Amino acid sequence: MQDAITSSAAILPQLPKAPTGIEGLDEITEGGLPKGRPTLVCGSAGCGKTLMGIEFLVRGILEYDEPGVLMAFEETGEELAANVTSLGFDLPGLQAQKKLKVDHVHIDRSEIEETGEYDLEGLFIRLGYAIDSIGAKRVVLDTIESLFSGFPNEAVLRSEIRRLFRWLKDKGVTTIITAERGEGSLTRQGLEEYVSDCVILLDNRVIDQITTRRLRIVKYRGSTHGTNEYPYLITEEGISVLPVTSLKLAHEVSDEVVSTGIPALDEMFGRKGFYKGSSVLITGTAGTAKTTLAAGFANEICRHQRRCLFFAFEESPQQLIRNMRSVGVDLGPWVEQGLLRIEASRPTLNGLEKHLVTLHKLIGEFRPDAVVIDPISNLVTVGNIAEVRSMLTRLIDYLKVNNITALFTSLINGRNIQQEMTEEGVSSLVDTWISVRDLEGVGERNRGISILKARGMAHSNQVREFVVTDHGIQLLDVVIGPSGIVTGAGRLTQQMQEQAQELAAQQEAERKDRELARKRRVLEATIDNLRTEFESVEEELRQINQEEQVRLEKLTEGRKQIATPAKKE
């Protein structure tokens, strides 16, 4: 039964949509605005209603070859053109190509004399002519409050609003109508949101002295859509909407492995490194060499002639290069070759959304194979934990979709080193989590590194001590004492004791070898003496045998002589 419902739903025609071309908005609306229907864009002053309408027209002309009409009731065509020039929108040029029609309608209530009924018939004629003259497919009316300022009668006003929306539908043009935010309602009149097929609410709020713009799809007839609040920015390239939950976990994965930049650390991973396109988090207290580990990874990426984008929130590019050169990691040549790009700024320079848009823009321009952010914990200064987590979630998803290996460093509270969650709460989002910590002993502080998790591969469970040398980070061999793994001076003491024990055992073995050699020589001498004595006895017996043999021979010969008779003469 369920399969039959699914198959029949797939056959049914879908609501036609007109893509806006605005980054992120088409993703939230699942294709764009309702084609041939009016969409209401409402919000308070300064939230970008007019800009959204103009960008909808310009993107439609440039990307989808759909001419448009802009009918403004507050600003003239020259003022609008000047306002959007900084965004790269050439309204006069589009008008010269007969792709755009800009019409300014001046309405002043004080100049209106009520002689009988006042309606919008003249506006319909004027707007219809503008649409027909260029074959417009898109229309923007900015703003509707100015249009209805001449209607003191509320009943007539509501009737004309309905008639305007119906007329636009009958014309078959995709329309954006901007409206000001009302008291207790989305618009001043409180009716436009009910007769519109799609309602987009823009909000401009200030939280902790930081401005944040939010967008929400209030309703969308005939289509599913994102229902959350989405941050958006007005940049030099127009409006950019940043979806929070619309990205799906359907990205491709790679079996390729990239090195950490430290051979001994690679050995702690079952696959000898990180998976390409994975996300890596390095956490630790201050002074545990998190930046050095990140720089070593960036250096390894560039060493294989791949690009790396490094975002530094605490050091300038020159300071970072100088400091890393002192530990044997020279990033300067990679910067000169264009393989490494270091972007340094204070987190408080922009809000979280601006940082995210900057990341997206630079990644799109530089096309890196790896991205390093050092540290993400500084972002807490420009947003609360939930906002930072949301921003990092979107960033991690974006990097995964583009198969970019990401490495983040994060500062954790030294009073709670064993905590299982970072302040940003992203430890559960990353694929690999490396912890660097202080190993404090008697009168000294050492560094240790361990792998808390590594999705998709086996990894070591040891806490390895490491040192930062002139040649980079070096992991030390594990030394086990009577009470477990020892580090620092204890490790050296344990190694000296082991060396002394090895020397004593070696000397004892050599003494035993010498004793054995002496016993072997004594034994061999005894054997020689016995052999000599045996030879003497053997010689004496041989002599006796020979003499006895001679005696017997003589005795036999004598007997023969006696037995033989003498010859007669």
For residues 228 and 244, what is the distance between their CA atoms, to the nearest angstrom?
A: 8
Q: Is the model more confident about 74 or about 97?
A: 97
pLDDT the model gives residue 138: 94
| Measured distance CA(157)–CA(265) in Å, rounded | 73
- pLDDT of the residue at 417: 43
Distance CA 290, CA 299 (A): 14
257-478 CATH: 3.40.50.300
Q: Where are the alpha helices (DSSP H) in 367-462?
A: 385-401
Which pair of structure tokens corresponds to residue 325?
Answer: 């050169």
Average pLDDT over the chain, rounded to whole?
82
Cis amide bond preceding 20, omega within 30: no
Burial degree of 275 (CB within 10 A; 0-12, 13-18, 19+): buried
pTM: 0.66
Q: Considering only CA atoms, which of 235, 247, 178, 192 is closest in space to residue 30?
A: 247
**Closest-CA residue to 449 (of 327, 278, 257, 269):** 269
CA distance 336 to 111: 66
The yes-or-no verdict on residue 312 having pLDDT over 80 is yes
pLDDT of residue 368: 94
SS3 sequence of 507-530: HHHHHHHHHHHHHHHHHHHHHHHH
Cβ partners under 8 Å of residue 436, min gap 6: 282, 283, 284, 288, 289, 290, 293, 447, 448, 449
User: Residue 64 is encoded by which pair of tokens?
Assistant: 């989808």
3 state SS of 179:
strand
Which is more confidently placed, 559 or 527? Answer: 527
Q: Which of 403, 405, 376, 404 is nearest to 389 (CA)?
A: 376
Q: What is the pLDDT of residues 243-260, one digit of tens each?
A: 654 455 666 788 899 999
Position 414 scores a pLDDT of 58
Q: Where are the domains of the chain?
A: 18-107+119-246, 257-478, 480-542
Query: According to the model, what pLDDT value does residue 5 have?
Result: 45
Homologous superfamily assigned to 18-107+119-246: P-loop containing nucleotide triphosphate hydrolases (3.40.50.300)
Under the banding of pLDDT at 50, 70 and 90, the label for residue 6 is: very low
Q: Reduced to 3 states, what is the DSSP secondary structure of residue 294?
A: helix
Percent of the chain with pLDDT over 90: 31
Give the 3-state secondary structure of residue 67.
coil
Q: How confident is the model at residue 281 (pLDDT cuts 50, 70, 90)?
A: very high
Predicted pLDDT at 245: 46
Q: Is the pLDDT of residue 296 over 70?
A: yes
Element (H, E) at 61: helix 49-64
The band of 443, judged by pLDDT with boundaries at 50, 70 and 90, is low
Task: Report, as an integer, the average pLDDT of 51-60.
Answer: 93
Give 149's contacts (C-beta < 8 A, 6+ positions apart).
Answer: 107, 108, 109
Which DSSP string corresponds to 456-492? Answer: TS-B----EEEEEETTEEEEPPP-EETTEE--HHHHH
Pick from 1-5, 280-284, 393-397: least confident: 1-5
Can you give the pLDDT at residue 364?
82
Instruction: Give the pLDDT band of residue 476 (cuts 50, 70, 90).
Output: confident
- For residue 152, the model assigns a pLDDT of 63
As a whole number of angstroms, the distance between CA 169 and CA 23 comes to: 26
Determine the 3-state secondary structure of 78 from DSSP: helix
* pLDDT mean over 278-288: 90
Domains 18-107+119-246 and 257-478 share a fold: yes
pLDDT confidence of residue 539? 87
Q: Which of 405, 403, 408 is nearest to 392 (CA)?
A: 408
Phi/psi at 65 (5° precision): 55, 45
Give pLDDT tens digits for 368-419: 999 999 888 877 666 667 777 777 887 888 888 888 999 999 888 755 444 4
- Of 224-233, 253-262, 300-309, which range is least confident? 224-233
Residue among 476, 469, 478, 487 at smallest CA distance from 296: 469
What pLDDT score was predicted for residue 325? 93
- pLDDT of 97-145, one tens digit each? 999 999 888 765 544 444 445 567 888 888 899 999 999 999 999 888 7
Cis before residue 375, ω within 30 degrees of 0?
Answer: yes
Q: How far apart are CA 221 and CA 225, in angstroms?
A: 10
CA distance linking residue 31 with residue 410, whole number of Å: 37
Higher-scoring residue by pLDDT: 492, 429 = 429
Q: How confident is the model over 53-66, as a mean pLDDT?
A: 93
Report the pLDDT value the prediction gives residue 7, as an integer from 0 to 100.
46
Name the one residue in this structure whose structure tokens are 């699942």.
Answer: 30
| pLDDT tens, residue by residue, 346-370 | 766 666 767 777 788 788 889 999 9
Band (pLDDT 50/70/90 cuts) for residue 207 is: low
Instruction: Report yes or no: 185 and 193 within 8 Å, Cβ to Cβ.
Output: yes
407, 355, 406, 344: which is closest to 379 by C-alpha?
355
Is 188:167 a contact under the CB 8 Å cutoff? Answer: no
**Percentage above 70 pLDDT, the chain:** 81
Nearest-CA neighbor of 367 among 337, 335, 339, 408? 339
What single DSSP character describes residue 567? P
Read off the tokens for 275: 């998976």
CA-closest candidate to residue 176, choices 90, 55, 277: 55
